[in-house]
Copies of this chain bind each other. A is one copy, B any other.
């Protein structure tokens, strides 16, 4: 079974990829060994995040369109519960996106967030590696920028694109600070709104200190995703960022963080947090609770 899936993935067979993802999600015995045999893929991972309503899905749709028109293969992972890729979406959006489901150069997969509050899917690193091995040119991970997931996406993505919409000009500061810190590229979507120019100007001013710190200017790109305006510029900025960082120390650190998280995940795999909590709750009812005594049976 695993050998067949591996062959399929090397042949860039999307059905083999889909099945592999399901097996990994369900931790079918042998999946860890299977993952270790994957060919290394070259595709960089582009994280797209931002507040609800910023138009992330429409932007992803436009990016797919841009890259597919250049004969590129695009894989999309969606971990945004409010996204049209998932349930609970407005019908119009879902229909629009569904055109890609049968396109041979496009692969879209939604992940149910599972377990940890606000965190990314526990197997998201594995799943992006599967997509890299399947030979996509571009991999997009879309996630809504709330809770902790936007910090985690910055640890997964080679390029983090933060999507915002222009609000009344002087309210640029209402943007969640966490989003400012992780952006490699800013997209101001819906930039045909009258207040867009002032918003972009304020955003650039806010980014100036970061510029002095990192010595790399953070691009701010204006788009109207529904009209595909600004999309070639965005695709270009993403590609530039990725070719500039591919051999960099930052990429070494990204891979180290991924390795660290994977090792941690495997090593904690035998513990169910819910059960752990029940044990602790039961013990606390009986006796004075010593955290360090309690964990001894897990650390030997």
Contact = CB atoms under 8 A, between A and B. Distances in A.
Interface of A: 32, 35-40, 125-126, 129, 147-148, 151, 171, 173-174, 176-178, 181, 249, 252-253, 255-256, 258-260, 262-264, 266-268, 271, 273, 276-277, 280-281, 284, 288-296, 298-299
B292 A35 contact: yes
B290 A276 contact: no
B290 A273 contact: no
A129 B292 contact: yes
Given A176-B177, A260-B273, A293-B36, A267 B299 contact: yes
Contacts of A299: 32, 262-263, 266-267
A25 to B, nearest CB: 16
Contacts of A268: 260, 263-264, 267
How many monomers of this protein are in the complex? 2
B151 A290 contact: no
Nearest to A175: B177
Given A35-B292, A129-B292, A295-B262, A252 B280 contact: yes
A281 B291 CA distance: 38
A256 to B, nearest CB: 4
Contacts of A273: 256, 260
Contacts of A256: 273, 276-277, 280
A38 B263 CA distance: 30
Contacts of A37: 293
A168 to B, nearest CB: 11
A87 to B, nearest CB: 22
A290 B38 contact: yes
Contacts of A36: 290, 292-293, 295-296
Contacts of A39: 288, 290
Contact of A264 (B40, B148, B264, B291): B264
